[in-house]
Amino acid sequence: MHLDPALLQSLAEKVGTPFWLYDAATLRQRISEIQLITSDGLQARFAMKSCPATKVLSEMHQAGVWIDAVSGNEMLRALHAGHASGHNPPVILYTSDVFRDNALEVVLQQGILPNIGSPGMITQLEAAGYKGDVSIRVNPGFGHGHVNSCDTGGPSSKHGVWFGDLAETAKKITDAGMRTVMLHSHIGSGPRFQELHDNLERLADEFAALLPLFPDLQAVSLGGGIPHNYRDPADQIPLEPLRALFARCREKLCSAAGRPLRVEIEPGRYFVASSCVLVTRVAEVKATQTNEKGQGATFAMVDAGFVDLVRPAMYGSYHGIEVVPQDGGARESGWVVVAGPLCESGDVFTRDDAELLNPRHLPMPLSGDLLVLRDAGAYGYAMSSNYNSIGKAPQVWLEPDGRMELISRRETLEDLLKAEVSEVL
């Protein structure tokens, strides 16, 4: 994603800072890359929790990418963006461990395929009079997230039905008058390709062994797991070997089932991470001095914080940082801590996974410069919040021909107060 400093300065004047900038060309390139590794019988879904903007969901719809939704409102957002309801085919899949808010209502009214992660959800569906098909999210006992706290499979993961309980769960579904038409697992986007490869092979083997329990099965989802290299975006994992791997996995599963099965993959991060940046402005540069408590640091204080991009504060995640000098001139480099405006000591973008300051070697910023946080499309705006009563930053869409569109405005105090009431209960 090439960034034109003049464009960034112009946008900052028009919409203020911080703001999110999406590059349509980069997003479409990532979609095409995933399409190249799919083949007959292999379907890609978008884990929309990573980036639920209507514009992004519409791009997925136009490209024939299906949706994995994890809440009632996510299902409704996907429908709003043009994705079809119903089971045939199940364009929208609802994946959860708990029915919350309007989720069960939307599943029933819109005919969305529920991907249950806890056996108790079967009881709730039955009580609601549901007699349709279901999918089961399986905890296969292994997996790896991009950091340890994001494990999506194994004894420490809350997600899915433990693989040892599947026979009992399958019987419960049948007794309730429902059919299991899909098995799903998500083993996480671990940082190393070989780990992903080995885990997918193992997952396909385990699912193949389970198929006799599910005579009505139509599909198997191997989940997401395609990682994005945040430290070196130019050095991404090779996708061509995955094409062959997914084809082998499907052949193995179809052979075990004795009939054709649809195999699904479910990237979120890989689709959108590189398509968006967070642009913020440097308010001030200040320093602390070394003393008996520790090393002094130079702080570039910016107007974005973890209300905008929480991943560094939550996981110690790395995002590339670029300084865009206001005067366009060259700067000498130095070690800088980039920190935000929030009343919270953890509001720092340059941290490591031990939650310690991790200064970045950057051109020394000055007050008024813009600063760009790269690869912020996945779990960026989607995880932003209103902490300190700050409104969410606007989102801007950039087309290859230079056309720009504001796709969400900056939230105001009135937006934040809309849900507040004074009602006697």
Catalytic residue IDs? 343
Which two tokens mark 211? 């198929």
Structure tokens, 59? 């791009």
- The per-residue b/e assignment along 159-168, b for 16 or more CB within 10 angstroms, e otherwise, is bbbebeebee
Tokens coding 321: 């940082």
Taking the mean position of all CA atoms in its chain, how far away is CA 194? Answer: 22
Q: What is the dihedral of CA 97, 102, 108, 113, to 10 degrees?
A: -40
Q: Which helix (H) or strand (E) holds 195?
A: helix 193-210
The residue among 166, 160, 115, 120 whose CA lies nearest residue 138 is 160
Query: What are the two backbone dihedrals, phi and then psi, of residue 337, each rounded to the nearest 5 degrees?
Result: -95, 125
Residue 134 has what DSSP assignment?
E
Phi, psi of 212 (to 5 degrees): -60, -20
Concatenating the DSSP letter of every residue in 347-399 gives -BSSB-TTS-B--EEEE---TT-EEEE-S--SSSGGG---GGGPPPPPEEEE-
Distance CA 183, CA 136 (A): 5
- From 151, 104, 147, select the one nearest 126 (Cα to Cα): 104
Name the residue with tokens 């969901």.
57
